Amino acid sequence: MNVVVVESPAKAKTINKYLGSGYKVLASFGHVRDLPAKDGSVLPDQDFEMLWEVDSASAKRMKDIADAVKSSDGLILATDPDREGEAISWHVLDVLNKKRLLNGKSVKRVVFNAITKKAVLDAMAEPRDIDVPLVDAYLARRALDYLVGFNLSPVLWRKLPGARSAGRVQSVALRLVCDRETEIERFISEEYWNISALLKTPRGDEFEAKLVAANGKRLQARSIANGEDAAKLKSLLEGAAYVVDSVEAKPVKRNPGPPFTTSTLQQAASSKLGFSASRTMQIAQRLYEGVDIGGETVGLITYMRTDGVQMAPEAIDAARRAIVDQFGESYMPEKARFYSTKAKNAQEAHEAIRPTDFYRSPDRVRKFLDADQIKLYDLIWKRGIASQMASAEIERTTAEIIADNNGQKAGLRAVGSVIRFDGFIAAYTDQKEDGEQSDESDEGGRLPEINARENLAKQKINSTQHFTEPPPRYSEATLIKKMEELGIGRPSTYAATLATLRDREYVTIDKRKLIPHSKGRLVTAFLESFFTKYVEYDFTADLEEKLDRISAGELNWKQVLRDFWKDFFSQIEDTKELRVTNVLDSLNEQLAPLVFPKREDGSDPRICQVCGTGNLSLKLGKYGAFVGCSNYPECNYTRQLTSENGAEAEGGAQNEPKNLGADPVTGEELTLRSGRFGPYIQRGDGKDAKRASLPKGWKPEDIDYEKAMALISLPRDIGKHPETGKMISSGIGRYGPFLLHDGGYANLESVEDVFSIGLNRAVTLIAEKANKAPGGRGRGTPAALKELGEHPDGGAIIVRDGKYGPYVSWGKVNATLPRGKDPQAITVEEALALIAAKASKAPAAKGRAKPKAKAAASEGKAMKSAAKPKAKAAAKAKSPAKTKKS
């Protein structure tokens, strides 16, 4: 019996069916070791020795693998065919070697690009050794990312409070987003006019022609710069006679694009399906690992982390046969098409993403897939088969027209296209069962019959004003495209990089556009000022190229680290002498449009409008940056920094307090203000003034006197409880709206309930809260923080916020997240590992622990002893094992 190790349980389940009883397929659940998230895991002074950690969930997985290997004939490492997959195999092998379990046993490494029976069996017949240069490239990348993150992030924490982290690729991606925002802020719009004529042929057909020349001069884009010039040209056309000067019909061929790479798939899924990059990869992973198709589990697509654009020869042959069968002979070109990528530093080590079987059309597999899976599969299948189809044949017609107004002449042009043969376009429209050629169809607008030298009748002259627009903000798709063009990151990193920017709250997404948050702008400005080299696009791309050369065996990975660390460490050391005032001066200058937005009255945006004499500047507080007055504490004006050109909050709360009226009891003024933590209501002045933040969902522009009084008067007394005689009150706290009675709390559904709930309803809610669990204590289902998708065995995997911290929930299994783990950053593979580890634990016995508990603890099992005297032993057992890689 041979043990086969793959990453995921879904993949293991599929492959096990292909290999039969002579093999035992086990899942590692992704990486089995990682660098501990603390300082000292990579040691530059010891030639970059790396200390690896096996967490409790991975320890359980490795124990299962180790136990199986003990009684096996050999080990087959069948993880994914990329750098990360090679690294997982290396980690598994290294752990087993340290346990001395492989003496005399056969160890093989196999890779396959698709999870089909043929692909798997072919791979088993051609094993190889671990690719050491590929592992070295992984080690170098992991060390670089660690060294940047764990040395640069503390500098940010000291010099820029509120900043969460910096990363080698993450910070450069953030710079792209922030640089685009700066372009938008500094963009100056320009006016221009477009003029066109609606004309009619002698046969009564109408069409539109655009003005392209006037008075002997060719008009360029935006040549007509103002309304006065536009009016003169329109007047010329209004009184002109029109004649067709020439008509030219030119055949044009349009070729299909290559099959998808990781980045182009993510771009297409974003623009056409609205999927995020991470969602696209989750769905693609499931299609790759295997889907039950009528009783047969099979992978529907090839490996989805690739920058290659070429298909394997046998796949090209299969695609050409499918084209003939499904579209007809005329749709198959004489020769197969071959593609090469234009992306910088592309490795092209793997196939493009394609269907594993082109005869499995979307219609044939639709009933086996969920809605999102069929959408993505449809996209991949059509792009894959279209890439080998014949070119579309288009006839593009151009008509040149002369307008003559008493000797003043102007030129107009009308352009239209007709598809004479749809070719590969047929893959994106209705599939033809009989292979007949498609009917003629328009592409971009079809012109009526127009003949040279014939006269045309003027119907209408259109003159429209336009203004140039700033460059658009990046979407996930366009940012990935830009990163790929620059050679920043790799296919396996795009989704994770974008997720990190969101999780760190460096960017927000609005209508699929990436908007840098103020803290993201600050981090980027800081890095550009004091770590310029490390956020340069060329430097990052050059480092990626070096990693590729390591994987090709051309560079020594430790020498690359030595060269990087020497300059980087020196830069870190230089910042120790950096003063906060230097930082603020630089940020004030770089972020002037954000920090000091222009004022409508034209006054100096750097002068405090409250005291009139102080200078405004960025200030750094415990919770991040804000704008404050230099006359503090005499002037306590502050303004929160936002991502919308410095304008505070959403409308009403501007730079100055807004007076709402006086409190009828105290006579003090109520004002709507903007602070470091958002808009709020204040009653009175000075340190003793009462303040109340606007609840979530309340917009400053909607706040009037009544709402302000209701908010500042909280808590609100509702009435006395009929049984206890004690007052029930409502309010808004740290965790939302609540009821308070006799020291106990009950949650309210909405903020509005705080101001409207009556005594009867309040009593009912308090009673329901008291009856939720024995003893009057209990909790409802905790809030869902993130939905990860379906478990391979069925049922949703959800991350929830529990009483003792975030945890992963699947059915009745609840697994607590490791301390410090961001619940928004957890992956499906990590969740599956936690769930499996939790499910495998035996229930803890009540009372005294059994004698085996101590033995289990000493062996390193991640189990908690129920007996208090054994707590220390259990805690010691939970400590991760450490190994070294030099």
Catalytic residue set: 303
Helix axes 170-186, 518-530, angle to 10 degrees: 110
Which token pair is 377?
A: 């599969």
Rounded distance between C-alpha atoms, residue 684 and residue 128, angstroms: 77
Please report the sign of the dihedral spanned by the C-alpha atoms of residue 564, residue 567, residue 571, residue 572.
Answer: positive
Give the residue carrying structure tokens 């080698």.
168
Give the residue carrying structure tokens 């306590």.
636
What would you report as the CA-atom Rg of the chain, rounded to the nearest whole angstrom? 33
Strand order in the sheet with 74-77: 23-27, 2-6, 74-77, 106-109
Rounded distance between C-alpha atoms, residue 480 and residue 332, angstroms: 33
Q: Which of 81, 79, 78, 12 is nearest to 297 (CA)?
A: 12
| Cα angle 685-690-693, degrees, rounded to a multiple of 5 | 115
Q: Which amino acid is at 3?
A: V
Rounded distance between C-alpha atoms, residue 441 and residue 206, angstroms: 19
Give the residue carrying structure tokens 């302000």.
708
Q: Which amino acid is at 487?
A: G
- Kindly give, in sequence order, each residue whose CB lies less than 8 Å from that of residue 204, ignoring residues fewer than 6 positions away: none
| Cβ(53)–Cβ(111) below 8 Å | no
Phi and psi at residue 189, to the nearest 5°? -75, 145
* First vs last C-alpha separation in the chain: 33
Q: Which of 541, 557, 537, 539 is nearest to 549 (CA)?
A: 557
Q: Which of 272, 260, 268, 270 is nearest to 307 (CA)?
A: 260
**Residue 542: CB atoms within 10 Å:** 12
Q: Which of 698, 690, 534, 466 is nearest to 167 (CA)?
A: 534
